[in-house]
């Protein structure tokens, strides 16, 4: 049976995550509903990267097996049926064994922090109007690349076969009086002071991992812990040592990488 990859983006504020859940609205539920209405057939969607409630994505995927000829010509119609905060970007036929989750070789996320009140960023970034030592946070971001076991940054009750992740990129970017594109607002830039963006790319991520890394590095930036304590948190392999307080709306799945 032919298999198709469906690429989409979404603002996750209104949803309880990416993949379907009982008694909660999700991105998958909305896409399934739109496809069913347009094609008059139910589809079984397989998701690529699970995102938590409130998390956004510039790129994510489902795959579906169907004999119906679904293609890019139908994107306009499907998007017309979807809510304004979800958009299909592409539909393409792939090999019968291609898998949008298991064939992904890497994923990249960004986490956004702003430190001056701005109503246009309130649901896309973490408002944190306190002094931060960015140099310490940058050192911690580099330190992260030395490790593979991120048990300390995985939320409890996570059923995974390993806590090992290969970190490809980990760095902070600071916008100090420079143009910074407000995510989700097309072709709009503003002058922002002290906007911080954490970029991280890895072969895989654990549940809550990026938010745990960010919140713990912010704690370091506030000098509530030092670099040796940050290293100890990583090496402790104990999730009670890390901080997971960073809100979900600052997190964005940027890209899913395939060979």
Specify whether 52 is catalytic.
yes
Residues whose CB falls within 8 Å of the CB of residue 162, separated by 6 or more in sequence, listed in order: none
Q: How far is CA 28 from CA 43, 86, 192, in A?
A: 11, 10, 34
Residue of 7, 82, 74 lying closest to 45 (CA atoms): 7
Pairing verdict, β 126-127 and 167-181: unpaired
Neighbours of 178 (CB within 10 A): 12
- The distance from CA 95 to its chain's CA centroid, rounded to whole angstroms, is 26
Tokens of 160: 């995974």
Helix, strand, coil percent content, the chain, rounded in steps of 5: 25, 30, 40
Handedness of CA 90, 11, 16, 59 (dihedral sign): positive
Contact call for residues 8 and 87 (beta carbons, < 8 A): yes
From the candidates 52, 85, 123, 149, give the one annotated as an active-site residue: 52
Tokens of 45: 């969607």
Which residues are annotated as catalytic? 52
């Amino acid at each position: 049976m032919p298999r198709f990859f469906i690429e989409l983006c979404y603002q996750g504020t209104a949803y309880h995550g990416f993949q379907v859940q009982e008694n909660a609205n999700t991105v998958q539920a909305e896409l399934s509903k739109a496809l069913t209405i347009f094609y008059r057939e139910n589809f079984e969607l397989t998701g690529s990267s699970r995102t938590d409630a409130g998390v956004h994505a510039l790129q994510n995927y489902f795959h579906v097996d169907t004999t119906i000829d679904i293609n890019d010509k139908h994107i306009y119609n499907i998007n017309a049926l979807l809510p304004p905060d979800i958009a299909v970007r592409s539909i393409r036929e792939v090999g019968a064994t291609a898998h949008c989750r298991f064939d992904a070789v890497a994923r990249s996320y960004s986490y956004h922090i702003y430190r001056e009140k701005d109503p246009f960023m309130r649901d896309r970034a973490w408002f944190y109007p306190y002094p931060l030592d960015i140099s310490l946070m940058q050192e911690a971001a580099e330190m992260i690349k030395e490790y593979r076991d991120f048990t300390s940054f995985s939320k409890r009750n996570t059923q995974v076969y390993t806590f090992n992740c290969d970190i490809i990129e980990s760095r902070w970017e600071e916008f100090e009086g420079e143009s910074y594109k407000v995510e989700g607002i097309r072709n709009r830039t503003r002058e922002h002071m002290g906007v911080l963006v954490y970029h991280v790319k890895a072969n895989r991520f654990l549940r809550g991992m990026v938010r745990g890394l960010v919140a713990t590095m912010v704690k370091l930036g506030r000098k509530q812990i030092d670099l040796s304590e940050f290293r100890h948190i990583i090496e402790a392999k104990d999730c009670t040592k890390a901080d997971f307080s960073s809100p979900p709306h600052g997190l964005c799945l940027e890209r899913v990488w395939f060979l």
